[in-house]
Structure 1
Amino acid sequence: MKERIKQFVADKRGVSPVIGVVLMVAVVVILAAVIGAFVLGLGGNQDTTPQASFSYDSASGNVVYEGGDQITASNLKAVSGDTEKPFSSGKDGSTVSAGDSVKIDASAGDTVRVVYTDPDGGDSTTLWKTTV
């Protein structure tokens, strides 16, 4: 009987494959969770572009901020061709309010855009555009 117990304890062939399978499954599950988190955008902070609406008054040549997310004025500019005009009022950190406008010279057929520059990354995004 003692010899059978020693043989049973010494024989670990059946345990090794089970441990190997469990470890492989654990690695696959952890890897899938990490990849899934990054694919779904949960792996880091995502900067979002502000949402806002603008209009162009062709009589005055003004681009008018109609409303939307709170945007720092120094991060917004109106662009037409080579001309760029900031929405900034001169006050550091001031935000754009509904009705704020900037005059930009544009001729018939020109495209007028409002461009937002991300203060953290410096990336520029066109928030709005129209053809005069």
Structure 2
Amino acid sequence: MTLKETVSAKLSETRAVSPVIGVILMVAITVILAAVIGTFVMGLGNNVSKNAQAGVSFDQVNDTQVDVQLTSLGNVQDAANFSIKSSGCGDDGSPFTEVGDVASVTGCNGSGDKITVVAEINGNENVVATYELN
């Protein structure tokens, strides 16, 4: 076998690999694009629930009292959707009417009590922030 025949044989063996890889890549790209476009067209991304995000600050006044301030609404539409709960003491209601409101909350036992700010979005309660009394 001459050098020319050897080189020709090697080249003819590797020529088929490149088109096969190209076809596989094109099919993969087409499938991925179809999935992305199908998701947008069918609106599957709209059904994902969002957690509440809002700004809340805590200022402990004494052993059992904490001032809670609503600093921003985040993705919650209305300040009235926020409520404050203290562990073991029940619901302290919905004291916020707008951003900047401050509500004083009293814990039951002092140290170890948890004050939780909860937001309601589409009927679901989401914990926004929690503070433990010192």
> TM-score, length-normalised on structure 2?
0.53
User: Could you tell me how far apart the structure 1 residues matched to 2:129 and 2:38 are?
Assistant: 32
Structure 2 spans left out of the alignment, 5+ residues: 1-19
Determine the structure 1 residue equivalent to 2:125: 123
Structure 1 spans left out of the alignment, 5+ residues: 1-17, 38-42
Determine the structure 1 residue equivalent to 2:33: 30
User: Could you tell me how far apart the structure 2 residues matched to 1:56 and 1:117 are?
Assistant: 21
1:12-91 correspondence to structure 2 within 5 Å: 21=23, 24-31=27-34, 33=36, 43-44=45-46, 47=50, 48-58=52-62, 61-65=65-69, 67-70=70-73, 72-88=79-95
The change in CA–CA distance for 1:116 and 1:129 in structure 2 (over 3 A counts) is: same
Bigger proportion of residues as helix: 2
User: Could you tell me how far apart the structure 2 residues matched to 1:80 and 1:55 are?
Assistant: 17
SS in 2 for 1:88: coil
Letter in 2 for 1:120: N
User: Could you tell me how far apart the structure 1 residues matched to 2:103 and 2:117 are?
Assistant: 14
Identity over aligned residues, as a percent? 14
Deviations 1:18-64 (A, max 9, x none): 9xx48734532315646998xxxxx3466342122122212672433
Aligned-residue RMSD, C-alpha: 3.9
